[in-house]
Amino acid sequence: MSPDPLSTIPFEHERVLITTGPRSGLVISVAVHSTKLGQALGGARVWHYENWTDAVADSLRLSAAMTLKNAAAGLNRGGGKAVIHLPMGTALSDEQKRDAMLDLGDAVESLGGVYMTAEDVGTSAELMSVVAERTKHVCGLPPEQGGVGEPADATSEGVHASILATLDALYGSTDVVGRHIVISGLGQVGGRLAKRLAAEGATLTVTDVNMGKKDLAESIGANWVEVPSAHTIHADLFVPCGLGGVLTSQVIEELGVRGVVGAANNQLAEHSGAGQLAARGILWAPDFVVNGGGVIYLDMAMRPNADAAAISARVTQIGDVVATIFRDSAEKGITTLEAAEQLAAARLDAV
């Protein structure tokens, strides 16, 4: 029997709500890891899991990562996450999606404002507008409804800046022309990255669990491979942009690249993976720093008189933070994960 996923996660959270939506009948988990820096901010994920406990475990992991992400990004925001469990093989109708979002809104509202939700995997700006019918503690609504829209552009921008910083650390140049980059996951962020990197002259190998993404690969001249073999391709960078946990011990041993930098949350299946990557001489840009562009956008765009140029400049600075983490890692003889965690911890400890 496999271990209980909840038993493998240190419980350091302030609050966790687990409820069954009265309309949808789906299990909803809302995890608030920390409000030390301010109201917790993190997206709402709708995904398939073998068991509802797997979904709860994911909310715990993801909310803890959001605390690090928001702290490292310099935001006055804590970490939280909502996860709605879909049983395997379940497909929601539009009406069922609406019911699930209304249930999510009630769950968020019941927490009294300690957590603000937003779109994530399996949700969208349009679905967040449904959540907004039940709570004001939601952001990323469609612009036509007075919201700031989805943050995928900003997330992609931050990952791109991190890719340039990683190339510079590895090769002494940010030029992507001719660099072979493998992108796993062509969703909202991965798809944007692939188009941009192809236009900039990179050689791309791409993959996605959705075979329909092959059309995108063909349109940008990228080579398509199957998901299980993507990480074994000999290239300059591996860019994971799907779900978390991709960097298992076996995958790390099989990697055929010099660096890993991507948008996926919780890429390391185990904390020790950071040391394993370093031992193989593979430079890893910590995910919670790399993919911080989305929360930076949401936080800054909601402020009065938000300045688009200032937001873009702040997101691009993620590349500078990644470069600093690389330098700290080398100078202190620690992993890039430890360097990034120290950066976030310093901000939390300063409060």
Catalytic residue among 36, 69, 81, 332: 81
Cα distances from 213 to residues 125, 159, 188, 237, 246, in angstroms, run 22, 20, 12, 20, 19
In whole angstroms, give the CA distance from residue 13 to residue 42.
14
DSSP 282: -
Region of 319 (left: φ > 0; alpha: ψ -120 to 50; beta: rest) is: alpha
Specify the residue for token string 């600093």: 324
Backbone angles phi, psi at 56, to 5 degrees: -65, -45
Q: What angle do CA 129, 130, 136 make, to 5 degrees?
A: 65
In whole angstroms, give the CA distance from residue 241 to residue 184.
6
Q: Using alpha carbons, select from 284, 263, 295, 292 the residue that is nearest to residue 339.
A: 284
In whole angstroms, give the CA distance from residue 290 to residue 159.
5
Is 213 known to be catalytic? no
In whole angstroms, give the CA distance from residue 28 to residue 110.
13
Check: CB of residue 242 under 8 Å from CB of residue 190.
Answer: yes
Q: What angle do CA 155, 48, 291 make, to 5 degrees?
A: 15
Q: How many residues comprise the chain?
A: 351
Q: Using alpha carbons, select from 177, 206, 176, 179 the residue that is nearest to residue 194.
A: 206
In whole angstroms, give the CA distance from residue 259 to residue 292.
19
Q: Using alpha carbons, select from 186, 175, 176, 257 the residue that is nearest to residue 220.
A: 186
Check: CB of residue 33 under 8 Å from CB of residue 72.
Answer: no
Tell me the catalytic residues: 81
